[in-house]
Amino acid sequence: MEIQYGAPGFTLGAGMTVSVSNKPYTLTGLDSSTTYEWYVRANCGGGPGNSSWVGPATFTTVLENDEPSGAIELTVDQPCPGVNAFSNTGATTFPGEFNPTTGNGGYWGTSISNTVWFKFTAPSSGSVKITSDISPLGSLNDTQMALYNSDNPTNINQLLVANEDGGALGSGFASVAYYSGLTPGSVYYIQVDGWSASTGTFCVEVYETLSLPNPGTSCPSYTQTLVNGAAAPDKWFNIYNKPNNFNIGLPVAAVRSSANLGTVTVKANRYTSVQTAPNGVKYMQRYYTFSSSQNQGGAKDVRLFYTDAELNSLKAAANLPGNSAEDLNISHYDGAVEDCTPNNNAANGTTLITDVTATDIGGSGIFYLEYQSPGFSEMGAVFGLVALPVELLSFTGSAEQDRNTLRWVTASEKDVDYFSIERSPDGQGQWREIGRAAPQTTPAPEKHYALDDPQPFARSFYRLKTNDLDGSAGYSGIVLLERAVGEGLLTLYPNPAGEMLYAEYRAAREMPLVCRIIGADGRLILEAGAELGDGLNVLPFQIGDLPAGLYYFSVSGGMGMPFVKR
């Protein structure tokens, strides 16, 4: 017997022919998810000859990723490997395959029909965007996608998120799904299907990024049903804004609990500016109120999402430019009125959660704060629950003939212990206090201060530190003052020095020179050459091995400048 096969419509004689002597016969070397035509005829050997070809009949090969065990691996933050490189044509479902419709806690409008599978390794933030909304769209431009957590790809049973629409291309029917709460380094599985049994080509990509909704200031409610932590205590349940019945939308917050919470409701506001509570505490612009239909009390893990721009607004309003997301705490208000705003929170209902972890989500400009809350209530991010000790109107400086002068003006002061001016040679580190000023006791709408630096660097960075009576402190913005100086060695810093010594030298042209460190007894300790550029040069020297004592630093035989090694 002979079998001849090829692409649909091939001409007899142009196909691939194999002679077979056993039945059934398995064809090998075929492409996955491909339709073939085939013919068969009897081979009579030395008799009357071969029979006529009978056919054509057709068959379609299965996909390699028709089941989770053959899932195609995707790399996070990498584009699709080719234009619409994937297909669900010829895909099937398998016994026990999860069906992520709304009744099962998913967000698919139609049941599974032609599912294919992919997998990826979770990135460091545990937050991803999964999308088939990729230009150009393929012939399957109406997809459904779901994300699962499973160590065994033949037993997919824990749904994390499922979405039908959310795209921006074409009719918007391509799928986009966000999720935060993956374990970094673990493998997760993606299920892709066509809406209403549709098939065709498409692409799917995974990115470490997130987008946030803007709820405005009307305190809208967002709900998530079937939040059963008793059945999945390690699972993060994301609460989404759900703009319509076909799009689960963007994440608002996430919770994790070992209890069955039933339906979780999150009310959220996103103010256009930083909010101030009655006690003067500044709050991030996003503010949340949580509740649940079951087990509202008791400890729960919570994730709140914020943007870098919102953090910068809080830093400016709180006059804490040196702070970062790692300095944020959570204000937990469980008082008489829980209404989506911190502006009427009573002090006796507010506690501060300080064990908070901040995590950036890739390069999205979004981060989340993760912490354990004692129960559901109002929650928002703050730097602390104590109002700042001072309202700073301005901090400026000027380079005078023989000194630098720093000036600042305050509008109100509360429990201020003292002001201090700190100086740095580079504005990044090595801040050192150079002077203090006591707060003025005479009442006035504005209070004006000034402090001189009699020995400034050629380039000096300054900041004002406000020290409160309870030990807390706040910082101003940074002021840079530069002085016109001639050629030569300008200064050494820090002095006294520890591990490193830095020498500032201004050169009128590009030139080589020799730097020396000399002991108090005149003995040469260190000698090193340096190539200088035109203008100000900063030369670093490792002096950690020097014994403590007095030394002199000289350049090319010039007069030495003293410094002390600690």
Q: What is the CATH number of domain 390-482?
A: 2.60.40.10
Amino acid at 513: L
CA 248 – CA 222 distance, rounded (Å): 11
Main-chain phi, psi angles of 252, to 5 degrees: -100, -40
Architecture of domain 68-207: Sandwich (2.60)
SS3 string of 239-271?
Answer: EECCCECCECCCEEEEEECCCEEEEEEEEEEEC
Rounded distance between C-alpha atoms, residue 146 and residue 100, angstroms: 7
390-482 against 488-565: fold identical:
yes
Measuring CA to CA, which residue among 189, 175, 191, 66 is closest to residue 122? 189
Report the sign of the C-alpha dihedral through residues 105, 108, 110, 112, in that order: negative
Q: What is the pLDDT along the chain (566 residues), one digit of tens a residue?
A: 889 999 999 999 899 999 888 888 888 888 777 788 999 998 776 556 788 899 999 988 878 899 999 999 999 999 999 999 999 988 999 988 999 998 888 999 999 999 999 999 999 999 999 999 999 999 999 999 999 998 776 666 689 999 999 999 999 999 999 999 999 999 999 999 999 999 999 999 999 999 999 999 999 999 999 999 999 999 999 999 999 999 999 999 999 999 999 999 999 999 999 998 876 788 999 999 999 999 998 889 999 999 999 999 999 888 888 889 999 999 998 877 788 899 887 666 788 898 899 999 999 999 999 999 989 999 999 998 765 567 778 889 998 888 899 999 998 788 899 999 998 877 666 788 999 999 998 888 899 999 999 888 777 888 898 888 877 777 777 788 887 666 788 888 888 888 999 888 888 788 888 999 988 877 888 999 988 888 888 889 999 999 998 888 888 766 678 888 88
- Residue ranges of the domains in the chain? 2-60, 68-207, 221-233+257-382, 390-482, 488-565
Region of residue 196 (left: phi > 0; alpha: psi -120 to 50; beta: else): left
- Domain with residues 488-565, CATH architecture: Sandwich (2.60)
Taking the alpha carbons of 13, 17, 20, 26 in that order, is the dihedral positive or negative?
negative
